[in-house]
Every structure is written in structure tokens, then in C-alpha cells.
Chain A
């Protein structure tokens, strides 16, 4: 499948220094479309969807915000902290608006694992099925998200 012009523009925006210092892809040089298609397949195999993952991320982020910058128990065994730093981030797909540099850290005490994500990550997953480039420091692995956040499986 060929990349659309919008995808090409988005991929150009994802280069280091265009919208963010480190970009969105790291050393992953595949076409954006190929990255998205591969992650889509992984998500399907996990019996979830981008929407259910993003919904869960948002739910925990909103619950964590009640901790006012400190970890707070959102569900038994699930602690969440929402941090913010100065600045905002635009979407590389050129969607409207800016996303605050907010980091949500979810600690699943049952399996003793943490994962961190930004508000922009939630948007990128929900709207574009994009988890960032393979091997990149800021990439979110769908499998880890599903495991640590305890994303509910889709009913068949």
C-alpha cells in the first residue's frame, strides 16, 4: 500500500527537530504506513483496539490527575501519577490544537511494572493508531500497554 500525501507530511514532521527535539521515530526508517499496519496487527492479536487502549489510558490519566502531581491509587493495585513540565506539543499529523507536556506514569503493583505516556500519545493512538517508531525511547509497545494498564479485551 502506498503512503498518502498526508502520511508523507506527517512522517516529515516526525523527523528530529521539526516538532520535537528527538522526533517520533528514532532509528525506525520504515514508511509510517508500514509502522502503523504492523502495530494494527499486533493490537488485533491482543484482542483490543486502539480506541480501547486510548480510552483506558485517558481513564487512568484522569484518575491520576486527582493525585495533584503525586501517585494516587486509581484502582486496587494501580497507582497513577500525572506530571507536567513547561511547554506544549503539536500533533505531527497536523491535527488542530496543542497538547500539554503531561506525563502519566502508571504503576501496576500486581506485576510490579511501570509505564509512562503523554497526552499526545493518547491522541496519536486513538486518532492515528500510532505508537511511535520501533526501538525509540518514547515508543509505547501495545503489548506492554495492554498488560500494565489492564486494558479490557474486546468481546467477540
Chain B
């Protein structure tokens, strides 16, 4: 029979060996895997001395340089791409699904997967230096439709934001029943840049959407919310061309921001805004848009219903927004297009605009996809 003392000695020996190995791993991590301080150079003229060994995305965040990422650095959204000119090494298997052949030629890397192990030179859009993280408080939540909420956030620290009308922020969703850790989702701001102390977002409920479910089911006035931003290059170009805006659903947000900014700045260009919905209950901010028609000298709001119900008693435009747009477009000469919505909606509207003579390069869009 196996004696008890031998059994206990065996357990003790195994425990001692395990403890020793664990200690070795800790020492190895602190010494062998210690990359020390390395130099991180961004866009040739921003230099940071950082501690090596961590993913580039997190390292940049510690230096308050924020790269857009929807998954919080888990490598599951493919958004946090940067160009790495030096110091990157081979592509990692976890990066490859997200990087196209063309991007490989340009040394585009996924910053959440790539670790900083030596001096590194990277290139990012210059405007990302303006991105900050903000502590905010939910000031107001308003139902715009049965599935779209307007969320107003008061900025606490920092207490002002320097944005361009049409840009978006990333909203941090804390842990709750649909996520075990914080995740980020991007939403366009519907408030104008003049509203420096607070921002408005319009958030439509997406079935099973982690952030939209959180906002619609759990978020309440007075809650603390962390955001970062602003991001994006969807903004009104400084020309005198006629502006044609097209949106549907929560695509209203950046267009509203642009219109309010035009009002603030006294920009008097001709603007036509085509807004698509299915029935009257899917329309929102109609009164606000009619008010803007009175305040902006040459602004026309054109809502269209694709399938109005008899009880809607709708006497406005009927049809898909592409058909309505096509009916209204006389000539694409001297016209710029600003579109916000799903990739399908954007592609369809771009086709209508180009068919009517608006050059591709004068069509700007914020594609959700």
C-alpha cells in the first residue's frame, strides 16, 4: 500500500516545482521580455519615450493618442489600423484577416495586435492628435422614434470638445449582460461645434447590438459615460456649391450637426436634405427641420416615406429615397453630396447622384459599415 507520508511528500514536491516554475516565468517576463524604454515617433515630429512590450494601441493610449477601435483592442473589429514605417517585424496571424494585399504593401498594421518591442516609426492621420477621452454625465435621454433615442451628454473632464460638424465619438459600454468587458461603439454627434460643453447622439436600437441594447435598456439620466473623440473626415467642404444631403434613421445625426453649424456660421448655401423613412412613425425631428427651413435662407427639407400607412395621411413624397432624389435632381452641376447611412443606402444614392452628373469626388459620405 502507498504510505501517506510518501503521498504528502509527492504533493509537496509537485507544489514546490510548480511554484518554482511560476517564479521563473515571472522573472523571465520581467527580464527576458523586458524591452525597456523605446522611442516611438509619430508622423516624423512627435516623439515619445515609452515602455516596450505592450500592444501599440494601448501604448499610444497611455500617451493620450487615441486610435479608433470598436472592440477595445481585442482584434475583433479591424479598425485600429496605422502605418508602421519602422520597427514592426513580421505580420502576426491575428492581424492577417484584417489586412488587404494593398494595405500590406503600405505597411498597414493592426495596432491592438502589434507589440512595441523596439524603436518604432508610425504614421497616423494628423487630426487624431485632437482626440481626447472625456468623462461625461447623461443629461437627457429622449425618444425620437420607437427605436431611436437621443442621448445628451454633459462633458465633465475635459469640459469642452473641439469638433467639426459631422464627426463621431466612441461611446464606452461598461460590462453588463451582453459583454464581460468594456467595448466601444462609434456614433456621430448631432449637436453643433458651438455646443462645446455637451454633445448629442442619436442611437438606433440594433437587435442584439451590444451598445444599442445597453443604451435603450439600461442607460439612464445621471449615469457616467466615458467617450473619446472626435473622429472622422465627414464635414462640410468650404465651397459655394449647392449641398445635397441624404440620410435615413440615425444617419440624421451628422447632417443635423452640419445644418446647425451652417446656421451658427451664417453659411447661406443652397441646401436640400432628403430624409428617408418607411412610415410616419419612423420620421423624427420634423419640427426642428421645419424651424431650420425658416432660419436658413435657402434650405429645403424633403422627407419621404417608402411605405406610408393609410392612417399616416401622408401627402409628402412617397418612394425609396433614391427614387425621390432622382425625381428632384435637375442637374449635378455645382452640386456636392453629403450622405450618411448603411453601405447599401450610400452605394444606391451615389449611383443616383453620379447618374445626374455629380462627380464622384464631390460626394462625401459616412458609411456605417
Contact = CB atoms under 8 A, between A and B. Distances in A.
Q: Assign chain B's interface to a size class.
A: 35 or more
A101 B79 CA distance: 12
A85 B276 contact: no
Interface in B217-269: 248-249, 251
Interface in B110-142: none
- The 9 A-B residue pairs with the shortest CB-CB distance, nearest first, are A68-B345, A116-B207, A87-B77, A90-B97, A84-B369, A65-B344, A69-B342, A84-B342, A70-B278
Given A19-B76, A86-B79, A86-B369, A68 B344 contact: yes
* Residue among B97, B183, B251, B307 with max Cβ neighbours from chain A (10 Å): B97
B152 interface: no
21 contacts: A18-B76, A19-B97, A21-B180, A21-B181, A66-B344, A67-B306, A69-B276, A70-B248, A70-B249, A71-B307, A72-B307, A73-B307, A85-B185, A86-B79, A86-B369, A88-B78, A100-B369, A103-B207, A105-B207, A114-B207, A116-B207
Interface in B87-117: 97-98
Interface string B170-211: 000000001111010110000000000000000010111110
Nearest to A72: B306
Given A68-B321, A73-B307, A86-B79, A137 B207 contact: no
Interface of A: 16-22, 65-73, 82-90, 98, 100-103, 105, 114, 116, 137-138
Nearest to B76: A20
B78 A68 contact: no
A68 B347 CA distance: 9
Nearest to B341: A69
A137 B97 CA distance: 25
B277 interface: yes
A105 B181 CA distance: 26
Given A18-B76, A102-B343, 17 more contacts: A21-B72, A21-B76, A22-B179, A68-B248, A69-B341, A72-B320, A83-B204, A84-B342, A85-B209, A86-B70, A86-B185, A88-B78, A90-B98, A98-B97, A102-B369, A137-B178, A138-B208
A82 B186 contact: no
Given A69-B341, A70-B306, A114-B207, A17 B76 contact: yes
Given A82-B344, A86-B77, A21 B71 contact: yes
B74 interface: yes
A69 B248 contact: yes
Nearest to A118: B208
Contacts of B207: 103, 105, 114, 116
A70 B277 contact: yes
Nearest to B248: A69
A140 B321 CA distance: 32
A67 B369 contact: no
A21 B79 contact: no
A120 B186 CA distance: 21
